[in-house]
């Protein structure tokens, strides 16, 4: 069971005696914009679908996704969020030993632990703003048969270039590379940067609908891999793993491409402006350093006068939740992650943090 993740508005609201909706959640990395209005209306209109079982293997959703991105449908499966695939990877790939490029999302290590599969971490360096060094990575993959790479990475916000990833996958043809692209749609020109159509036999791509379309409650994600690899996952899928409303959402999103693309473009522009705003707001502030990010969240480090715990508790009292990153392997008790929201909320958060740092 995943513990200590972002987005735990339930625990905080219980502690404060308020409703979960009263919490400003800047700990969960979803799109700052509300879900598409047309999508919400479509789901409401189709709510009667819950009276019947959904397609057992979400076949229509798979076909719609494959058609939308012009890929072979035999190279795609749909799951209960990408989490379902992450949890199944060590078992489906019969991983002997994994390598995780960290600091990163704990789900990969949790999946290895779940199946008693040993793993190593290769940590990127704080002095390099956590940007991965591809030569070091190539060198460190020795007896590892599965490598987890989150791109862009959660929580560091770093992006690896496609050419570098291709070099890596070419260099180690017998190693499976799991590239988690959950946050890639937040990056400009993401289809060009994606490994989705790379055609490498040893690459598996995770594509989440949760983050970009702000529908984490629906639980829908895709795995894209060569047909042979996809077949290895089928025995581990539960029947009806994608619920009716999630399948309805995919149907809408894959067919209303102009609306979905416009939503993504609007999101990217908003995030670009908000990253710039936050970088400027904290530029000359003592006691906090923001790391450059390419996506929907920003990693920051506090100086030694104040821990993430102290700051998070201070903000929590005002019903604001940010991510305390002290439980990320490779980070310390001084790291926080801020999921960007709209201008007024980001400004309010920046003011609160700056005032608090000044008061110490």
Binding site for ligand PLP (CB under 6 A): 81-83, 105, 107, 150, 154, 180, 182, 208, 210, 216, 221
Q: Point out the residue whose Cβ comes nearest to ligand PLP.
A: 81
Considering the complex, what minimum distance in angstroms separates the CB of residue 303 from ligand PLP?
27
Q: Are 179 and 170 in contact (CB under 8 A)?
A: no
- Closest to ligand PLP by CB, 153 or 274: 153
Residue 209 Cβ vs ligand PLP, minimum distance, rounded to whole Å:
7
Q: Which is nearer to ligand PLP, 8 or 357 (CB)?
A: 8
Q: How far apart are CA 315 and CA 283, in angstroms?
A: 21
**Contact call for residues 330 and 109 (beta carbons, < 8 A):** no
Nearer to ligand PLP, 297 or 334 (CB): 297
Taking the complex as a whole, how short is the minimal distance between the CB of residue 85 and ligand PLP, in angstroms? Answer: 8
Fill in the DSSP letter of residue 35: P
Rounded distance between C-alpha atoms, residue 149 and residue 217, angstroms: 24
Give me the least distance between CB of 83 and ligand PLP, in Å please. Answer: 3
To ligand PLP, the closest distance from the beta carbon of 320 in angstroms equals 19
Residue number, 150 or 312, with CB nearest to ligand PLP:
150
DSSP 51: G
Task: Tell which residue, 195, 131, 202, has the closest CA to residue 171.
Answer: 202
Is the sign of the CA dihedral 46, 51, 52, 58 positive or negative? positive
Smallest gap, in angstroms, from Cβ of residue 201 to ligand PLP? 23
Nearer to ligand PLP (CB atom), residue 242 or residue 312: 242
Residue 151: other Cβ atoms inside 10 A? 29
> For ligand PLP, which is the closer residue by CB, 105 or 186?
105
The residues, any chain, with a CB within 8 Å of residue 289's CB and separated by 6 or more, are 282, 300, 301, 303
CA-CA distance, 281 to 195, in Å (whole number)? 34
């Amino acid at each position: 069971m995943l513990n200590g993740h972002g987005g735990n508005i339930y625990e905080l609201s219980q502690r404060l005696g308020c409703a979960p909706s009263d919490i400003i959640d800047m700990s969960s990395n979803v799109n700052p914009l509300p879900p598409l209005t047309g999508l919400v209306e479509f789901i409401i209109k189709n709510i009667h679908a819950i009276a019947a079982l959904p397609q057992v293997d979400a076949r229509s959703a798979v076909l719609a996704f494959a058609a939308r991105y012009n890929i072979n449908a035999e190279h795609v499966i749909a799951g209960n969020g990408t989490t379902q695939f992450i949890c199944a990877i060590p078992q489906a790939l019969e991983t002997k030993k994994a390598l995780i490029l960290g600091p990163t999302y704990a789900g990969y290590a949790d999946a290895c632990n779940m199946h008693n599969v040993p793993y190593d971490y290769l940590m990127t360096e704080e002095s390099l703003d956590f940007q991965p060094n591809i030569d070091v990575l190539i060198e460190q993959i020795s007896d590892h048969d599965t490598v987890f790479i989150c791109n862009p990475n959660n929580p560091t916000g770093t992006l690896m270039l496609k050419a570098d990833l291709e070099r890596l996958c070419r260099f180690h043809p017998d190693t499976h590379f799991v590239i988690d692209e959950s946050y890639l749609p937040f990056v400009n020109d993401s289809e060009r940067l994606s490994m989705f159509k790379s055609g490498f036999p040893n690459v598996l791509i995770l594509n989440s609908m949760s983050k970009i379309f702000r529908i984490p409650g629906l639980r829908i994600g895709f795995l894209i891999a060569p047909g042979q690899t996809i077949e290895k996952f089928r025995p581990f899928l539960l029947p009806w793993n994608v619920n009716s409303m999630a399948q309805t959402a995919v149907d809408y999103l894959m067919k209303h491409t102009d609306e979905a693309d416009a939503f993504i473009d609007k999101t990217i522009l908003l995030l670009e402006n908000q990253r710039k705003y936050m970088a400027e707001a904290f530029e000359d502030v003592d006691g906090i350093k923001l790391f450059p990010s390419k996506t929907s969240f920003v990693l920051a480090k506090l100086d030694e006068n104040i821990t993430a715990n102290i700051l998070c508790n201070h903000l929590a009292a005002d019903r604001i939740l940010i991510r305390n990153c002290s439980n990320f392997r490779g980070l310390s008790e001084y790291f926080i992650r801020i999921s960007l929201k709209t201008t007024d909320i980001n400004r309010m958060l920046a003011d609160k943090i700056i005032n608090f740092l000044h008061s110490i």
